[in-house]
A and B are shown apart, each in its own frame.
Chain A
Amino acid sequence: MSGKKQVRESLASKIASSLKAGVGEVWRNNMGKAGLIIIVFIVIISIYALATLPPGLPDKWKNRLAWSEYPTSVPPEWVRYFGVPVAEHKIYINPQTSYSGIVTPQNIQGALPYYANALGLKQTIVGYVQVYSVEYRLNDPAFPTGILTLFTPINNSVVIVNGVERQVQVLPILVVQRPDGLSIVVAQESSALKITDLAFKNMSVTADLFWRQYIDYFAQQGVTINMTETDARGFATQMIFGKPLGGKEFEPLTGTYRLHLIIVYAGAHPNAIQQAITAGQLGFEKIKIVVKGNAYGISGTDNMGRDLWLAILYGFPVALAVGLFAAVASVIIGLVIGVISGYYGGLVDEVIQRFIDVLSNIPILPILILIGVILQEKPGVGPWEKLFIIIGFLVILGWGGTAIIVRSMTLSIKAEPYIDAAKAIGASNARIIFRHIIPQILPYAMASLVFSVPGAIITEAGLSVLGIEHGLPTWGKILADAQANRGIAYKMWWWILPPGLMLAITGLAFVLLGLAIETIVEPRLRRR
């Protein structure tokens, strides 16, 4: 009896074993193997993306201000391995304090030599001073694209001196000490302000502060710089990190740069301020100095400074969701309707066939664009909702082909004697359809499902390129932005190439898998 028991399989193990056999067969096919490997990769990356990307990314992507710390329109960092000189993108968080104490005109030369030496310095600092210093090494002959300082002050701007509340004011000054010994003030607030107000300030460099002195300094060394104040504004970073060649030409000056962020406290007695700072009641929770490189990350940035890698990553799960949802839904609809049409025949069949006739003549893309544009105008529809409404229409317009083929397969299976045998037994229509007909069609349906994945992904991306947005950072959206902001004209290949490549590779994986399934299924279909 035990021998007989082994004969029986549970439905789950049946499905599992046939799936295992199917995957095995695909694996033995070279194209199938390549497709499977890529798809596994895509799935792993998707899971990684979902696990690591911040949940607020779609909103952040739309917010221009959120990307101010990033260099704009720069290529990926790995271009350095292709001989492109790269100025590193560096973020310094809470840098070392190199000096803190009371500065007077008498001790300034000793305390802040670089400041004292900064060209043409007219104002003299008096008061309690903290200096944060960092080092930036410029190895390649390349210009960084900017310096940005961000503050997170402790939420208090008051010290109490002798029972009296005093507003503390601060003046931040950024000095760059160049490898050639020159020190310049590159950034400074125009006047002292309440320390808590610094939270809303991103301090960036301006040539206004140093251009005159800079020109004079190099004039003494025999280099004539031909620039007005307005000209200089456009060359601030080149001036800071470069050596003038005369006229408006600069070449990068490699070496170690020292950046000093000088915070001058005023408004109360320096001792009181010092006490408050030491007690942790005053000062900064966080200070961030960013030297913007001329290259960034794995994928570079776009014209808003957005890190394209994040959107590339985000694109993986979205593409999978779009492709699989559209493919699964349209194949299931096509399968069910095709089987019904073929099995029941008669009037039902006629109605379905005429309906498919109409469907197959619809120009799909224009209708999808029309719906997309209309959807665009509707307020209060969330990004995912929009995405799935569009895919929904793609499915509604797209199941006809599968249904036609499934119907003709059903017709031929229906004529098989084993279907007659099942009828003679008394099997119900549902049993015949689900147990006898659909399992025969399933391998074909799998091939057709896999084949329709790339089409759905590409169509969705194409709609994005036309400006039909759902608001998610996807491959299509990156390309849409590149297209809208003339990324091609600016030769920003990193903006155009990677998202398209991702689309192509994802599509290719499914095409290869589909070809493999087709070569496996095809002879079986023909044998029937």
Chain B
Amino acid sequence: MPVDRRILNVAFKRGITLGGSLIIIVFMTAVIIGATGYDTKILNALIEQRLQALKQSLQQREGITAEQIQQIIENERQRLREIYGLDKPWYQRLIPMTIRTFKLDLNVTSDDVANVAGLRIPVSVGDAIRAALPRTIIMITVAEIIAMAIALPLAPYIAYKRGSLLDKGVVTYAAITNAAPLWWLAMIAIYLFGFKAGIAPTQYRQILSYLKWDQFTAAPLETLYHVLYFAYLPILVTVFAFLGGWLYSVRAVAIRVVAEDYVVVAKAKGLPERMVVRKYILRVIAGPVVTFIILGLASSIQGFIITETVFDWPGMGSLYYQAILSGDAPTILGLIYVTTLVYVLGRYILEILYVILDPRVKM
């Protein structure tokens, strides 16, 4: 089969499965939320709360009878129920809800969720995600990139020196960071650097007031300083936790290559180590490593719910968590949609890259 037709074939087939996955995942989440009556309960409570406030303000007004108040309240209840779609059973809300999720045409329903985004109700789910995303990128995506940047040049050397003290040290380090939860390391870091040594902030929510584009354009250096002040500890902790995994997995890929005959021959020929690593190892491991990179970056944008919560870092993870706690179905669905979309796109690009880069891949 010619390469271009094969690319077309892969693009088509994987497009269908991955797109299908996306639709199924969002739809099933909507089913979980709807079928358990989870959002209905919370939305009803929310409506009652608002009606209570309305009633109080009406009672303070003069020249209005109790009956009129009752009437206004009833009308308002009806209106709110329609807004939140509570006038219909959950399964009738399902399909419109899913479709609106794909259009990102939904509004945040909970004040707490809007707060995490640094915004106020009314705000659309899209805007809330747009607000939270840069903060997750600043912390987790940046950390991921730093860890990669350290691991990629280092790991092949470690693989080349398999069994050395350095190699054993790296494996142990990777094993430890794999076993210790990142969010616990975050707690320890806040304790040590924030409270004990006093060289890092203890409140991270304040990054909200610094990470703003207009502020950056007005006073770039000062803003950068503030952002760095808040971000450095979360980034350091995350890099510390990620680096082990990166080193280990790139090393594992490289070790297979090191054992290949042509590398052994290159070594036997007496080629300098640097050259063997660059010419014979780095090039060959590029494929799997690109996979790691794309999937790592694609999944980094969903944030780390627990770690962000520990830092009280107002990113995607905190948004997720607050949305789930507040029963904010539109935000939950919007987040599931956006994060899954990015991940699925990452995989899609990879599958096509495989075919373009490696004509031997059979489809």
Chain A residues near B (Cβ < 8 Å):
31, 354, 357-358, 361-363, 365-367, 369-371, 373-374, 377, 454, 458, 461-462, 465-467, 479, 482-483, 488-489, 491, 493, 496-497, 500, 503-508, 510-512, 515
Instruction: Give the docked Cα–Cα distance between A330 and B25 (Å).
Output: 20
Ordered by A's residue number, 28 sampled pairs between the chains whose C-beta atoms are within 8 Å are: A361-B18, A361-B21, A361-B22, A361-B340, A363-B302, A363-B336, A363-B339, A366-B302, A366-B336, A369-B305, A369-B320, A370-B29, A370-B32, A370-B38, A373-B38, A374-B38, A458-B181, A462-B306, A465-B306, A466-B309, A467-B325, A488-B190, A488-B191, A500-B180, A504-B184, A507-B179, A508-B176, A511-B178
Option from A361, A366, A465, A493 in Cβ contact (under 8 Å) with B191:
A493
- In whole angstroms, what is the CA distance A294 to B314 when docked? 38
Contact at B195–A366, with CB atoms within 8 Å? no
Given contacts A363-B302, A369-B324, A491-B196, contact A357 B176 (CB under 8 A): no
0/1 interface trace, chain B 15-31, chain A, CB 8 Å (1 if under): 00110111011000100
B125 interface contact, C-beta 8 A: no
Main secondary structure of the interface of A (DSSP, over half): helix
Q: Is B306 a contact of A466 with CB atoms below 8 Å?
A: yes
* Nearest chain A residue, comparing its CB with the CB of B36: A374
- Going nearest first, the 7 A-B pairs with the smallest beta carbon separation are A507-B179, A500-B184, A504-B180, A508-B179, A358-B21, A462-B306, A361-B21
CA distance A389 to B196 in the complex (A): 39
User: What residue in chain A is nearest B248 (Cβ atoms)?
Assistant: A515
- Give the residues in chain A near B195, CB-CB below 8 Å: 488-489, 491
Within 8 A of A (CB), among B285-344: 302, 305-306, 309-310, 320-321, 324-325, 332, 335-336, 339-340, 343-344
Cross-chain contact A503 with B180 (CB below 8 angstroms) = yes
Interface string of B157-184 (1 = CB under 8 A from A): 0000000000000010001101111011
By a CB distance below 8 angstroms, the chain B residues around A363 are 25, 302, 336, 339-340, 343
Asked if B41 lies at the interface with its beta carbon under 8 angstroms from chain A, I say yes
**Cα–Cα distance between A465 and B22 once the two chains are bound (Å):** 29
CA separation between A367 and B38, bound complex, in Å?
13
Which chain A residue lies CB-closest to B344? Answer: A361
Residue pair A507, B178 in contact (C-beta under 8 Å): yes
Query: Pick the contact of B32 from A31, A367, A512 — CB < 8 Å?
Result: A367
Contact of A504 among B32, B176, B309 (CB under 8 A): B176
In the complex, the answer to whether A491 meets B332 with C-beta atoms within 8 Å is no
Q: With A358-B25, A488-B190, A491-B195 in contact, do A365 and B305 touch (Cβ < 8 Å)?
A: yes
Pair A361/B25 contact, Cβ less than 8 Å:
yes
Across the interface, do A358 and B20 meet the contact criterion of CB distance under 8 Å? Answer: yes
Complex alpha-carbon distance, A377 and B187, angstroms: 28
Residues of A within 8 A of B22 (CB): 361
Q: How far, in angstroms, from A373 to B329 measured CA to CA in the complex?
A: 13
Contact at B18–A370, with CB atoms within 8 Å? no
Contact A371 B32 (CB under 8 A): yes
Interface readout for B182-218 with A: 1 if CB under 8 Å, 0 if not?
A: 0110011011001110000010000000000000000
Q: Are B181 and A461 touching (Cβ within 8 A)?
A: yes
Is chain B's interface secondary structure helix, strand, loop, or mixed overall? helix
Residue among B21, B181, B188, B305 with most chain A CB within 10 A: B181
Residues of A within 8 A of B321 (CB): 369, 466
Indicate if the CB atoms of A361 and B347 lie closer than 8 Å: yes
Q: Judge whether B184 and A366 touch: CB under 8 Å.
A: no
Tell me if B227 counts as interface (CB < 8 A to partner A).
no
- Cβ contacts under 8 Å, A488 to chain B: 187, 190-191, 194-195
CB atoms of A483 and B310 under 8 A apart:
yes
Chain B residue at minimum C-beta to C-beta distance from A365: B305
B178 CB contacts on chain A under 8 angstroms: 454, 507, 511
How far is A363 from B180 in the complex, measured between Cα atoms in Å? 21
B119 vs chain A, min Cβ distance (A): 21
* CB neighbours of A504 from chain B (8 A): 176, 179-181, 184
Chain B residues with Cβ under 8 A from A461's Cβ?
Answer: 181
Q: Is the CB of A377 within 8 A of B38?
A: yes
A491 / chain B contacts, CB cutoff of 8 Å: 191, 195-196
Task: Give chain B residues whose Cβ lies under 8 Å from the Cβ of A365.
Answer: 305-306
Q: Does B235 contact A (CB under 8 A)?
A: no
The answer to whether residues A497 and B188 also contact, given A508-B176, A515-B171 and a CB cut-off of 8 A, is yes
Chain B contacts of A493 at CB under 8 A?
191
Residue of B nearest to A482 (CB): B187
Question: In the docked arrangement, what's the CA distance between A377 and B178, Å?
Answer: 33
Q: What's the nearest-Cβ distance from chain B to residue A227, in Å?
A: 30
Chain B residues, CB < 8 A from A377: 38, 41
Least distance between A135 CB and chain B CB atoms (Å): 38
Q: Are A362 and B324 interface neighbours, CB within 8 A?
A: no
CA distance A357 to B41 in the complex (A): 33
Q: Which residue of A lies closest to B304 (CB)?
A: A365
Question: Contacts A466-B309, A488-B195, A489-B195: A515 and B175 contacting too (C-beta < 8 A)?
Answer: yes
Bound form: Cα–Cα A466–B191 in Å? 19
Chain A residue nearest to B41 in the complex (CB) = A377
What 20 additional pairs, Cβ within 8 angstroms, besides A366-B302, A369-B320, A505-B179?
A: A31-B171, A361-B347, A363-B343, A365-B305, A365-B306, A366-B336, A370-B38, A371-B32, A373-B38, A373-B324, A454-B178, A461-B181, A479-B187, A483-B310, A488-B194, A491-B195, A496-B184, A496-B188, A497-B188, A503-B179
Find chain A residues with CB under 8 A from B24 CB. 358
With both beta carbons as reference points, the residue of chain A lying nearest to B326 in the complex is identified as A373
CA distance A482 to B184 in the complex (A): 11
> Which residue of the partner chain, among B175, B335, B344, contacts A512 with CB atoms under 8 Å?
B175
Cβ-defined contact, A357 with B17, below 8 A: yes
